Amino acid sequence: MAREQHPEEMHGGVLSGGGSPGLWGALIGLIIFVFIAVPASAAIKYATHPATQQLFGGRLSDATTGGYVAFWWIVAIMLIALPFLVGFAVARMSARTVIIVAAVVILFVIAVIILGQLFVF
């Protein structure tokens, strides 16, 4: 009787046979960070200088200073957390991890939209 051969299962994430999943996650996170560096620094600048509220005119200039600063800090935190979340998801690359990371990103987006509605409109 011939022995059945089973294909090898991949363990540990992306390209586990050709490299460390942690290093791939770090590389992808670094690439994402390069893309969001300018928007993140702009969000921090807006959060730390409430006088920039007048630059946006309209309803945003009528919002409270605390709401304006809180909105931009949440946006900045979300942008800074994004490379870590993407790198972690790539390193783990299981369905459960991707779902958890997607849920966290969706919750951040919902929080920004709610705060934007509360303080801007």
For 94-106, what is each residue's pLDDT tens digit? 778 778 878 887 8
What does each of the 121 residues of the chain score in pLDDT, given as a tens digit? 556 665 555 555 544 455 677 787 888 888 889 888 888 888 898 888 878 877 776 666 677 888 888 888 888 998 899 888 888 888 877 778 778 878 887 888 788 778 777 765 5
CA 8 to CA 84: how far, in whole Å?
30
According to DSSP H, which parts of the chain are helical? 21-48, 53-56, 58-62, 65-92, 95-119
